[in-house]
């Protein structure tokens, strides 16, 4: 079977099913497991790993989506040469990966045509179902069932251990300039990990919010998980938050409970490692019950 995965979560699902050898091309963002880095790249984004300021990236994304409806291009010549049997894509987010409609239309012109597998999760349960959907498409249903069972066991272990813990207000920002609140499965992860997300909205897209909304939420814990940013890039934007009115009065800032996490890996990839993100949040919210994750970096907060 010749498989093309057009988003990182899909590559990670296929790899977790022990089918990475069947993958003949991946997206420009696929970087895990390490073997994915050796695969041909089937998509391109001109702003990938850009050094532009965050506000300019946000403007470019908004303008590009308004103008053309997509941020990405498919390497159609490569895909025609590869003649894939299965294309795994998504319709969840036009910012995250090439649009589903574009992939479906192109796939119809290929020999076969290949099967297009659509991932569209908005909750943990949806992510688990997507694992099963991919496993079925690749003919390894039993592997999918076993993988989901293992992931669910880890989820329930966190839920049980955090069940009677004090609920801490935890705001997760998916972008800093401008601020974006969390959505989809992230508020659910916070809840399972022993917190409450006063800004996030379960099952909804991440969305822009005002700084006043962040202040009003009065987070006891603030997690910065900027989509597509490594920790060091997120920390470079920290002064933008620190310059906002009322920053020093936030409970999270007063307590030194502001954390940066790798937004290319944690919370934004709806695949098997979403459970790693749950365990990371549990370690942030309740270090007395869970081992802290080395991937959660306490932000340096200088007195003003």
- How many residues are present in the chain? 304
- Could you tell me the two tokens for 31? 């970087």
3-class state of residue 242 by DSSP? helix
CATH superfamily of 166-298: Nitrogenase molybdenum iron protein domain (3.40.50.1980)
Run of H or E residues at 196: strand 195-196
Q: What percent of the chain has pLDDT over 90?
A: 76
Are the folds of 3-120 and 166-298 the same? yes
Q: Show me where the domains of the chain are located.
A: 3-120, 166-298
Neighbouring CB atoms inside 10 A of 189's CB total 28
Q: Which pLDDT value is given to residue 304? A: 46
Strands 43-44 vs 23-25: parallel, antiparallel or unpaired: unpaired
Between 283 and 28, whose confidence is greater?
283
Task: Encode pLDDT of 195-217 as tens digits.
Answer: 999 999 999 999 999 999 999 99
In this predicted structure, the answer to whether residue 32 has a pLDDT above a threshold of 90 is yes
The CA-CA-CA angle for residues 10, 277, 296, to 5°, reads 130
Task: Encode pLDDT of 243-280 as tens digits.
Answer: 999 999 999 999 999 999 999 899 999 999 999 999 99
- Could you tell me the two tokens for 290? 């869970």
In this predicted structure, the answer to whether residue 302 has a pLDDT above a threshold of 70 is no
CATH fold of 3-120: Rossmann fold (3.40.50)
3-class state of residue 5 by DSSP? strand
Task: Encode pLDDT of 139-155 as tens digits.
Answer: 999 999 999 999 999 99
What is the model's pTM? 0.90
The residues that bridge with 208 in the sheet, in sequence order, are 180
């Amino acid at each position: 079977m010749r498989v093309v995965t057009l988003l990182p979560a899909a590559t990670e699902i296929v790899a977790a099913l022990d089918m990475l050898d069947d993958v003949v091309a991946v997206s420009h963002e696929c970087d895990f497991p390490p073997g994915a880095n050796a695969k041909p790249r089937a998509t391109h984004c001109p702003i990938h790993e850009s050094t532009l300021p965050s506000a300019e990236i946000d403007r470019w994304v908004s303008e590009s989506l308004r103008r053309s409806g997509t941020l990405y291009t498919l390497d159609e010549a490569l895909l025609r040469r590869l003649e894939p049997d299965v294309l795994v894509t998504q319709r969840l987010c036009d910012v995250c990966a090439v649009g589903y409609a574009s992939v479906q239309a192109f796939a119809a012109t290929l020999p076969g045509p290949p099967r297009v597998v659509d991932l569209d999760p908005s909750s943990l349960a949806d992510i688990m179902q997507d694992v099963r959907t991919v496993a079925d498409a690749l003919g390894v249903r039993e592997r999918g069932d076993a993988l989901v069972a293992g992931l669910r066991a880890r989820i329930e272990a966190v839920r049980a251990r955090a069940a009677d813990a004090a609920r801490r207000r935890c705001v997760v920002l998916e972008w800093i300039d401008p601020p974006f609140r969390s959505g989809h499965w992230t508020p659910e992860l916070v809840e399972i990990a022993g917190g409450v997300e006063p800004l996030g909205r379960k099952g909804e897209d991440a969305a822009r919010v005002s700084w006043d909304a962040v202040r009003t939420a009065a987070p006891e814990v603030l997690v910065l998980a900027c989509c597509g940013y490594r920790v060091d890039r997120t920390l470079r934007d920290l002064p933008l938050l620190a310059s906002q009115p009322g920053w020093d009065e936030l409970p999270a800032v007063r307590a030194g409970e502001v954390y940066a996490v790798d937004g290319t890996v944690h919370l934004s990839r709806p695949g098997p490692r979403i459970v790693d993100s749950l365990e990371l949040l549990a370690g942030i919210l309740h270090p007395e019950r869970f081992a802290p994750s080395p991937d959660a970096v306490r932000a340096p907060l200088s007195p003003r």
